Amino acid sequence: MTVDKPYSRCIFVAVVLFVAFQYFCNMKSELILTEDGSNSLYVPEIDECYHSSHGAIQESRHIFIEAGLKQCRKSEINILEVGFGTGLNAFLTMIEAEWNAKQIHYVSLEKYPVEAEKALRLNYPEELSSEKRSCFELMHLSAWNEKVKITPFFSLEKVETDFTQYIPENKFDVVFFDAFSPEKQPEMWTQERFELIYEYCNDAAILTTYCAKGVVRRAMQAVGFTVERLAGPPGKREILRGIRQ
């Protein structure tokens, strides 16, 4: 019996993806304290931290809130996040929605969820808004693949999936691209992935990411984003922001 090459290649890719999925699912993370006093998670197996060691909160606020969310002038905003992770970006966004009385619908895609028990040990409520701890807990304890109203201004839908398998109900105004680094997850940063993101976006949608590598910038430009380099947070020279034209 012979097996044609395309079929063999499909089997090989499927096996590689399955092995990668098992590997990431079994990774253990450690709670760490970053320089601005906020927690993050560190994964020894891949030597990767969920945030900058210079400060988790200041990094997320700089890249995703200041350079991303605050640049969108709409009163009702659909946000797509690639990588829910610790929930920090979502929590910062919820606080911003409350302060500015904006309706925000937040969809976050995550293939490898952090255990809720570990996430609830993170000190973000204490560092940002202690009276919102119950909201932070609800973000992590709420069911996956369901839309949940966290506050009158902020709804969250956590989707446990690879974003290549995700089909959105609505298009997005802001995208937080916060996957693990290209060195650890190169498949997340390809032109094909940014093509999907581009199709998910409304005109003039804003995409921000911490990664300023040339290959990432060129991939974003190739699919139609107008891309600019911006000054990064402490410890990082530059970040990228793309606008869908």
Among the listed residues 245, 109, 90, the one whose alpha carbon sits nearest the alpha carbon of residue 188 = 109
Report pLDDT for 6. 52
CB 135 within 8 A of CB 87: no
pTM score, two decimals? 0.89
Report pLDDT for 77. 98
What distances in angstroms separate CA 118 from CA 87, 134, 181, one per listed residue? 12, 16, 22
Instruction: Report domain extents, the chain.
Output: 58-244
SS3 of the chain: helix, strand, coil, percent, to 5 = 40, 25, 35
Q: How far apart are CA 127 and CA 234, in angstroms?
A: 18
The residues, any chain, with a CB within 8 Å of residue 242's CB and separated by 6 or more, are: 206, 207, 208, 220, 221, 225, 226, 227, 228
Report pLDDT for 163. 86
Q: How far apart are CA 236 and CA 234, in angstroms?
A: 6
Report which DSSP code applies to 86: T
* Residue pLDDT, tens place only, 95-127: 999 999 999 999 999 999 999 999 999 999 999
SS3 state of residue 228: strand
Which residues, given as ranges, of the chain have pLDDT below 70? Answer: 1-26
List the CATH code of the domain at 58-244: 3.40.50.150
Report pLDDT for 234. 96
